[in-house]
Amino acid sequence: MSEMSQWIGIGQVFKPFAWKANFDMDFSSECMYCDSNESLKGYTVENEEGSAARVAICPACRKINARY
């Protein structure tokens, strides 16, 4: 997982079209980048080399709020 975390950063816009992304879980936290009242969504993402990570994204602004 450490290889993936080097190229996926907090604050980066989530790109499900560029990564294999599968829904993982819902969070009770709200976005730290926008004023949306929507809860963060967790996704497991994998790059073309097979490195995987889990990220929490805001469904409104699409920014990555955390890696978990």
Q: What is the pLDDT of residue 14?
A: 86
The two beta strands, 20-30 and 39-46, are antiparallel
Q: Is the pLDDT of residue 1 over 80?
A: no
pLDDT of 7-63, one tens digit each?
Answer: 778 899 987 666 788 999 999 999 999 999 999 999 999 888 888 899 999 999 999
Helices (H), 1-68: 2-7
Q: What is the pLDDT of residue 40?
A: 97
Q: Is the pLDDT of residue 3 over 70?
A: no
Cβ neighbourhood burial of 7 (10 Å; 0-12, 13-18, 19+) = exposed
Q: What is the pLDDT of residue 47?
A: 82
